[in-house]
Amino acid sequence: MKTLRSDCPVSRSLDIWGDKWSLLIIRDLFLAKQLTYGELLKAPEGIATNILAARLQLLEQSGLIEKLDHPDSKAKVLYKLTPMGVDLLPIMIEINLWAEKYFPIPADRKAMLKEVKMDKEGFIKAAMKELKRA
Amino acid sequence: MKTLRSDCPVSRSLDIWGDKWSLLIIRDLFLAKQLTYGELLKAPEGIATNILAARLQLLEQSGLIEKLDHPDSKAKVLYKLTPMGVDLLPIMIEINLWAEKYFPIPADRKAMLKEVKMDKEGFIKAAMKELKRA
DNA sequence: AGATAGTACTTGCAAAGAGCAAGTAAAGCA
DNA sequence: TGCTTTACTTGCTCTTTGCAAGTACTATCT
């Protein structure tokens, strides 16, 4: 998805992360804060390695994620969300809440959403602060 | 996207509407409440007619939209969101808010978002009620 | 009633993207 | 110094997308 289709904010957003994989990568980065290439590859949905590489590059170009040197090894790379990427959290939360309403979802995720529903704004604020700190 | 990739709620959601076009169709239905095939085809992003037909069918199968007889003509069909589709509104709103933060967006959409920001919960509740009524 | 036009699609084909398997390069480890 | 790990890349096939054209039903006009 290379060309800008319109200046509608929904369209602009989808031009960046509106594919089958980007939001799953972003989900994993929300849950883990930072991951190596190999760890991202292990996502249960089974993304192909070339697709992962392409998406990571696109997300980095778009400013949603950034590459970091791994503290333990030069062979490893860490990926994490930029502030712009962290700002996707409210969208991610709403997606989870929507899906929870219509599909059975894993218990651990359900537990997280219980917290969210008790104080959505507070949860998001705290989570975003934590993500932007690290 | 036919196969279920995992039971993660994000993945489940993307399996249904995680492509380049579905959320744009849904956006148009949010803005207009109900539209004919031809009206959906006129979206500024320029969706191809075969793609539109395929997406409408998939969204209908998934329970997000429904077909209605047009009151004025048997030749026309009306598409509108089901309650399940209307429940996507919070996601749609958050997408708009995110995009507004990082891209220039049209003035009319900006005006709507100003309202949203004054009372997000109230805005969403009222809009959803109105959409589910019609 | 017959011809013209609008509406909602379908079909055929070329181009782009996704997905699989294998390969490469740099770094760490024994 | 070789074996492994890590992060990719490359080549190829298959599916999906997107364009152009066509079809069928309905409506309108004369």
Q: How many whole angstroms separate alpha carbon B50 and alpha carbon B133?
A: 31
- Is any Cβ of chain B less than 8 angstroms from the Cβ of A44? yes
Tokens of A83: 């502030």
Tokens of A123: 């949860």
B14 membership: H or E segment, kind and range: helix B9-17
Q: How many whole angstroms separate alpha carbon A46 and alpha carbon A54?
A: 15
Q: What is the ipTM of this complex?
A: 0.94
The whole-number pLDDT of residue B3 equals: 81
**Minimal C-alpha gap between B20 and chain A (Å):** 6
The whole-number pLDDT of residue A1 equals: 55
β-sheet with B65-69: strand ranges across: B34-36, B77-81, B65-69
A74 contact to strand C (CB, 7 A limit): yes
Count CB atoms within 10 A of the CB of residue A118: 9
The whole-number pLDDT of residue A3 equals: 81
The 3-state DSSP class for residue A130 equals helix
pLDDT digits (tens, 9 = 90+) for B27-77: 999 999 999 999 999 999 999 999 999 999 999 999 999 999 999 999 999
Q: How many whole angstroms separate alpha carbon A48 and alpha carbon A25?
A: 12
Residue B134 pLDDT > 90: no
Give contacts of B83 with chain A, Cβ < 8 Å: none
The pLDDT confidence band at residue B1, using thresholds 50, 70 and 90, is low
Q: How many whole angstroms separate alpha carbon B125 and alpha carbon B111?
A: 18
Q: How many whole angstroms separate alpha carbon B131 and alpha carbon B134?
A: 6
The whole-number pLDDT of residue B48 equals: 97
Segments making up each domain of chain B, as ranges = 1-82, 88-134
Residue B133 pLDDT > 90: no
| DSSP-derived secondary structure letter, B87 | T
Give me the residue from B9, B20, B101 closest to A18, CB to CB: B20
Nearest to A66 by CA among A90, A89, A52, A85: A85
- Is any Cβ of chain A less than 8 angstroms from the Cβ of B88? yes
The whole-number pLDDT of residue A133 equals: 87
Helices A107-118, A120-133: inter-axial angle, 10-degree rounding: 110
Which residues in 37-66 of chain A line strand C, with CB less than 7 A from it?
A: 46-51, 54
Q: B16 CA, D6 C1': separation in Å?
A: 34
Query: B31: Cβ–Cβ under 8 A, 6 or more apart, which residues?
Result: none
pLDDT digits (tens, 9 = 90+) for B73-100: 999 999 999 999 999 999 999 999 999 9
**CATH class (in words) of the domain with range A1-82:** mainly alpha
Q: How many whole angstroms separate alpha carbon B6 and alpha carbon B2?
A: 12
**Minimal C-alpha gap between A71 and chain B (Å):** 30
The whole-number mean pLDDT for each consecutive block of 10 residues of chain A, a chain of 134 residues, reads 86 96 98 97 96 97 96 94 98 98 96 97 97 87
